[in-house]
Chains A and B, each alone.
Chain A
């Protein structure tokens, strides 16, 4: 027996700890040649960028939205298009769009036609609604309150024209997240799960599954304490203190936070990672209590569309959603979007006082 184990171990292959590969080897030759020597870019039409180098060489980029969770057939189809109509070089954007880079401007239109013929959506550049950044959800995550992929598919079906056109005041980056860890990240508009009830605890399992002191330490409001329940060591939650954040659930799955009815969607706006015009900003809560309603989540989509419409009508060129609201003020935002402003919009977390209006600045 011991010999056998040794034999198996001997056959195991030692990993090559090569880390992050060099992207240079996969870069289009024109980009390699002009690395660090680009002069300017133009935006001839939605989904297309033209970059010109200091030696007047051009590289044309065509950007397309996909389903993000790619099957190998779709991946190969994207490769086929790249081989036939582009030069066989691609990259992916941070929002999971695919980009083809070609040297020859005449290749751009046939490439676009080929992508569109196969059902991919060309766009997502400049002042469009970009592809919604998201994570796994029910398809793969261990703690999801919803299915980000489904929410995104449903919303992009309805926002597709805004992806394909450049009619927004500035770019709109949207994100979705299936729990409050917020893997989708900050967004101009973020659609995130917000739990509304404390975790339901399976006391029979806690002592076997959970390292209790680390679960106690994980709670942001110290609402969890060790307890003996039905004669077994377990944990209890002070439900008055609990903020239903779900932080205890990953380290202790018997503390189930997801609830088919009480896990709701919330919508946040004004997150902006860029330093342009203002320092980067975090997103702010605007709507909550939205039903988590598969397979199409129509209530959440309706609110997103309403916010986008008001932003599109009212914001000035180059204003991101945070810039726009900074100019018009929050009362006007709630008035224009017809969303209710409630006591829950007022921040009471530590540091929340700096979010209050400590001035006589009021718009009438």
Chain B
């Protein structure tokens, strides 16, 4: 095998940060399988060609495994004649365990399977949340999938379909956790396996679950349906720990970094260095808990907020997800069923009403939140808005009926309380 010269890529082996180029070269030079050597040699050759010409040379196509329509990112080289060993270089998107937990045994098993059939290159994880097994021929995608599917791994989503979900480290390690993040993640995603494996929706639909409003999964920005853990009773305060913190850091630090940073001015410091929180006006932003995790904790009445419609620019511009359920418990089986039902109703409504290639948030932007809410049977409420309408261009045909509904709902809440 003649090794391609790669002067530009060689440059990326310099410097203290681990180099992906060195890893690809190791597969080219040291792997016992000639096929793996050749694939990585030609991959390096094509990548060097890209660096020299500042252009990419991969094209998509249609590849999937038997019985599925998606889950694989097909890549065929446009310069396959020059680099034949890597001319078919597809990625398999594989769903990781919820929370991205692994044993080293399982990672080794995956590595063993992958070097048998693929390039030996893998990423934990892609930006949608999949394990990315990068580089297999059309034929070998099937063999690799068959092998890992037998021991519990399944493909993720690619194309216009429900995509692989993401959940944070969650209750496994984090004291800020308010829900069983992994249960929410798996219930939602695994309810839609058909919609993951057989792309037939208007466009992609993503679920992400964060255990608290720090939103480590970026769900408000990146998920069509975002589930965020929160609580509705008081922040738990360990005053002794708080006083210790004040003693250690000083009052000025506490005022500058905690009291004045509260977005709703809900915190004050007592003369004895205890803290007072106006819990009714706390918006659960997480800042004070982040600063003093030893003294301040989420309350006991935990649950989740659900937001819909987050996405990046294309086509109409960036959209944050917006609240459709301010708070719901996630404890009983009925609670969990209700969460799945919201997802099902949303996806059904969106599949029915969206234009081609229109994300859920874009559809809502086009038809208005109310049409979507009425479509899935959720009543409007003030937590859904930053502020009420500013424009006077509106017809109010059913105003009286709607006002009556609001009072009736308030009364029924009083009755049950």
Q: Which residues of A contact B (CB under 8 A)?
A: 12-27, 31-32, 35-36, 38-42, 51, 59, 61, 65-76, 78-79, 82-83, 88-94, 96, 98, 101, 119-121, 133-147, 149-150, 153-154, 156-157, 160, 180-186, 214, 217-218, 220, 245, 247, 253, 258, 260-261, 263, 271, 273-278, 280, 282, 292, 294-296, 316-318, 349-351
Q: How far is the CA of A287 from the CA of B14 in the complex (A)?
A: 28
Is B149 a contact of A15 with CB atoms below 8 Å?
yes
Is B18 a contact of A119 with CB atoms below 8 Å?
yes
Is A157 a contact of B286 with CB atoms below 8 Å?
no
13 more CB-based (< 8 A) A-B contacts, given A51-B174, A186-B222 = A19-B196, A69-B23, A69-B122, A83-B104, A92-B125, A136-B134, A140-B58, A147-B51, A153-B15, A247-B314, A258-B54, A294-B54, A318-B261
Q: In B52-85, which residues have CB < 8 Å from any A CB?
A: 53-60, 65-68, 73, 75
Q: How far is the CA of A121 from the CA of B154 in the complex (A)?
A: 31
Given that A150-B51, A157-B16, A218-B315 are known contacts, is A36 also in contact with B103, CB under 8 Å in the complex?
A: no
Contacts of A181 in B (CB 8 A): 312-314
Interface centre among B20, B98, B197, B215, by most chain A C-beta atoms within 10 angstroms, is B20
Q: How far is the CA of A182 from the CA of B167 in the complex (A)?
A: 21
B360 within 8 A of A: no
Other-chain contact of A91, B20, B100, B186 (Cβ < 8 Å): B100
B123 within 8 A of A: yes
Is A13 a contact of B291 with CB atoms below 8 Å?
no
Given that A17-B193, A23-B99, A89-B103 are known contacts, is A72 also in contact with B120, CB under 8 Å in the complex?
A: yes
CB distance from A269 to the nearest CB of B (A): 15
Other-chain contact of B102, A26, A38, A186, A247 (Cβ < 8 Å): A26
B220 within 8 A of A: yes
B106 within 8 A of A: yes
Other-chain contact of A15, B59, B66, B164, B283 (Cβ < 8 Å): B66
Contacts of B357 in A (CB 8 A): 214, 217-218
CB distance from A262 to the nearest CB of B (A): 10
Interface centre among B58, B59, B75, B189, by most chain A C-beta atoms within 10 angstroms, is B58
B377 within 8 A of A: no
Interface centre among A74, A133, A141, A258, by most chain B C-beta atoms within 10 angstroms, is A74
Contacts of B108 in A (CB 8 A): 76, 79
Is B51 a contact of A295 with CB atoms below 8 Å?
yes
CB distance from B364 to the nearest CB of A (A): 15
Determine the interface band of chain B, counting residues with CB < 8 A from chain A: 35 or more
Is B153 a contact of A21 with CB atoms below 8 Å?
yes
- Of the A-B pairs whose beta carbons lie under 8 Å apart in the complex, a sample of 6, sorted by A's number, is A17-B194, A23-B100, A70-B23, A71-B27, A186-B312, A296-B12
Q: How far is the CA of A118 from the CA of B308 in the complex (A)?
A: 43
Q: How far is the CA of A205 from the CA of B127 in the complex (A)?
A: 32
Is B18 a contact of A121 with CB atoms below 8 Å?
yes
Contacts of B98 in A (CB 8 A): 20-23
Is B220 a contact of A280 with CB atoms below 8 Å?
yes
Q: In B233-271, which residues have CB < 8 Å from any A CB?
A: 256-257, 261, 263
Q: Which residue of A lies closest to B21 (CB)?
A: A153
Is A147 a contact of B196 with CB atoms below 8 Å?
no
Q: Which residue of B lies closest to A214 (CB)?
A: B356
B111 within 8 A of A: yes
Given that A68-B20, A70-B121 are known contacts, is A135 also in contact with B317, CB under 8 Å in the complex?
A: no
Is A23 a contact of B173 with CB atoms below 8 Å?
no
In order of increasing CB-CB distance, the 10 nearest A-B pairs are A157-B15, A71-B23, A260-B54, A23-B97, A138-B50, A19-B190, A275-B213, A79-B104, A23-B101, A156-B17
CB distance from B382 to the nearest CB of A (A): 16
B353 within 8 A of A: no
Contacts of A21 in B (CB 8 A): 95-98, 152-154
Given that A92-B100, A94-B217 are known contacts, is A144 also in contact with B17, CB under 8 Å in the complex?
A: no
Contacts of B96 in A (CB 8 A): 20-21, 92
